[in-house]
Structure 1
Amino acid sequence: MPAPSDNWGRWGEGDQVGTLNLLGPSEVLAGLAAARDGRVLSLALPIKGATSGGAAAAVPHVRGRPLPQHYMAIDGADYAAGTRPVGAGLRVADDAVVVSPHGTTTHMDALCHMWAGERLYNGHPADRVRSYGAGRLGIEHAAARGVVARGVLFDVAAHRGVDHLGPLDRIGAAELAAIADSQGSSLRPGDAAVVRTGWPRVWDPRDPGRYQGAQPGLAADAGRWLAARDPSLVAADNAAVQGLDGDGRSTEDLDDDVHLTLLWRHGVHLAEMLWLEDLSSAVAARGRPDFLFIALPLPVQGGTGSPVNPVAVL
């Protein structure tokens, strides 16, 4: 089986979770040990949607993806509409939510989300990804394992002394290495690497084009630098982990595309569109960049991704 990276076949030809295999008991315990204060921070953007109104447009999202839809399947006025009697004063409400995770909310990419040629990660046949779902590498496999790991924040915006990076800024391997050296916290196998650009701060619903055009992110050599350190997951607060051009697309060729380097060649799951502003402040005040990172995707059978509410436990 021709393999574009050493991680194809590393955990057997049937492997469907990639570097999540690195999260053994010792790595999970190392993550638990990174929590010292017991403070919990959500790293997710809110999901706002409606069948009418502009609530969904108030949250960062990329162009061309359907906005989340949230409406009440049963609201308080409908409590007596059913066939069963309801006690006096009792009210019932229920929700219906439709979310396209990629580009509209904080989410985790499955290993079937992107590939080149006729093979998915680890040589699985690409023709198993169909309109009814992915028969290989769906997000349900990551959900069965979960991500409970030591997280390490690479606060690039803070390192540069800015609120957020510029749209054409790229983060290279040398800068990631410099940040690791400056904070005295190396990335260990199984860790979750969390990269802050500050880009969600530029979102303005009156001018969505600023967020939806070019975005800062990882350069090609940064993707390779991370992959060489065996992270269980790479997470970022921009829309694609890597940088995007003015059309909202990657400019790298297949050899340099960060998604292909991490997801396809090395089996590293990605989490995107995180909210890292509160974590940035907490880490600066704490003086330590590591923490317990937890992300549990929904077990969507055959899903190419899932909304996720990552949390940092300090």
Structure 2
Amino acid sequence: MVHEPNNWGRFGPDDQRGTLNLLTPSVVLDALRAATTGEVLSLALPIRGATSSPAPATVPHLRGRPLPQHFMSVDGGDYAAGARPIGEGLCVADDALVVTPHGTTTHMDALCHMWSGDRLYNGHPAARVRSYGATRCGIERVGGVIARGVLFDVPRRLGLDHLPAGHRIEPGELEEIAVPRPGDVAVIRTGWPQVWERSPEEYWSGQPGLSAAAGRWLAAHDVAVVAADNAAIGGLDARGLAAEGLADDLHLILLHRHGIHLIELLWLEELAATGRTEFVFVAAPLRVEGGTGSPLTPLAIL
């Protein structure tokens, strides 16, 4: 049972899209005005092989999530070894990718990804998340996201390259940078991905992130999506777990109670270097029926 302000029933009893409903045609058209130069930046981490991914299997919250596997099914070596070309002189390279989105690459969480009790967002039965996928609130409900993006570059505001691992971003720190409009995508930079190159061990020794109060502040301002460059939107302790209890868990506040989709493990360094706070945010998850999330390549159009 939800006992604090929430969006259950706000968009109708059958709603499965949450605050993405705020992205009406007029809101999208208004968001497009945030682009002024036409420069396009990718906000995604590269999908690498398991040996170089910033998500070691020893981290507790990643157990059961295999790291990305990318391999070639047909390559130039096959033809060098005598494989016949397709048609006269026509060769082809082909590959395969196995990826679990959560915790292993830039991805979007569906509204069925986390819940408490026996109900998903908007009161949908949690029993509808089954072994073959979620029949309620799956990632295929998202479609495309085109919105005004607002970059909350908290380290820059504090004069830091990245936030300390124990830092929890409070509402006042966000408000000093910007106040989002309904339908905005709030993009939170902690700078923490830079730490991976210096020390994977330090990267997983804890992570900065939003406080519960900051999550509620963003929800109160009707953002459509919350996106961040850390692994879990909120902070993590040295065990790789969220330190908050259920009442203050960021995923429950945002996904479960307010229907706000989450995007995690962004790469924001090039965007931060531009000094831009506003831009057009574009993203479209894979249309995986019943999926709890999807790999994603968000774009910032400046």
TM class by smaller structure: over 0.9
Q: 2:171 corresponds to which residue? A: 173
1:192 corresponds, among 175, 185, 188, to: 185
CA distance in 1, matches of 2:131, 2:239: 26
Aligned to 1:57: 51
In structure 1, the residue corresponding to 2:29 is in which secondary structure? helix
Q: Is the 8 A contact 1:45 1:59 kept in 2?
A: no
For residues 31-57 of structure 1, the C-alpha deviation after alignment (integer angstroms, 9 at most, x for no partner) is 2110000000000000012xxxxxx33
Alignment partner of 1:268 out of 260, 266, 272: 260
CA distance in 2, matches of 1:208, 1:13: 45
1:2–1:236 Cα change, 3 Å: closer
Shift of 1:59: 3.3
TM-score of the pair, normalised by structure 2 = 0.93
Q: What's the CA shift string for 1:90-144, capped at 9, x where partnerless?
A: 21111110001111100000000000000000000001112211111110001x2
Q: Counterpart of 1:179 in 2: which secondary structure?
A: coil
Structure 2 partner of 1:39: 39
Shift of 1:2: 6.4
CA distance in 1, matches of 2:52, 2:76: 26
Which amino acid in 2 is paired with 1:155?
Answer: D
For 1:17-43, what per-residue CA distance to the aligned partner results, in whole angstroms no more than 9, with x for missing partners?
A: 000000001111122110000000000
Q: State, as a whole percentage, how many aligned pairs show the same letter.
A: 63
Q: How does 1:21-32 map to 2 (within 5 A)?
A: 21-32=21-32
Aligned to 1:278: 270
Aligned residue in 1 for 2:101: 101
Give structure 1 stretches of 5+ with no counterpart: 50-55, 181-185
How far apart are the structure 2 equivalents of 1:81 and 1:136? 46
Q: Which runs of 5+ in 2 are unaligned?
A: none
Cα deviation code 1:134-176 (max 9, x no counterpart): 111110001x2x1100000000010111100111111011111
Q: Secondary structure at the match of 2:44?
A: coil
> Are the aligned partners of 1:295 and 1:308 in contact in 2 as well (CA < 8 Å)?
yes
Structure 2 equivalent of residue 247 of structure 1: 239
Cross-structure match for 1:310 = 298
Count of aligned positions: 294
Deviations 1:237-268 (A, max 9, x none): 00001001111111111111111100000000
CA distance in 1 between counterparts of 2:193 and 2:53 reads 9
TM-score, structure 1 as length reference: 0.90
Residue 191 of structure 2 aligns to which amino acid in structure 1?
G
Q: Which secondary structure state, in structure 2, belongs to the residue aligned with residue 222 of structure 1?
A: helix
Per-residue deviation, residues 75-99 of structure 1 (Å, max 9, x unmatched): 23446757xx733332111111000
Amino acid at match of 1:306: S
**1:3 shift after superposition:** 6.8
Contact 2:53 2:67 in 1 (8 A): no
Q: What secondary structure is seen at the aligned counterpart in 1 of 2:177? A: helix
- Structure 1 CA distance for aligned equivalents of residues 149 and 294 of structure 2: 20
- Which of 205, 209, 216 is equivalent to 2:208? 216
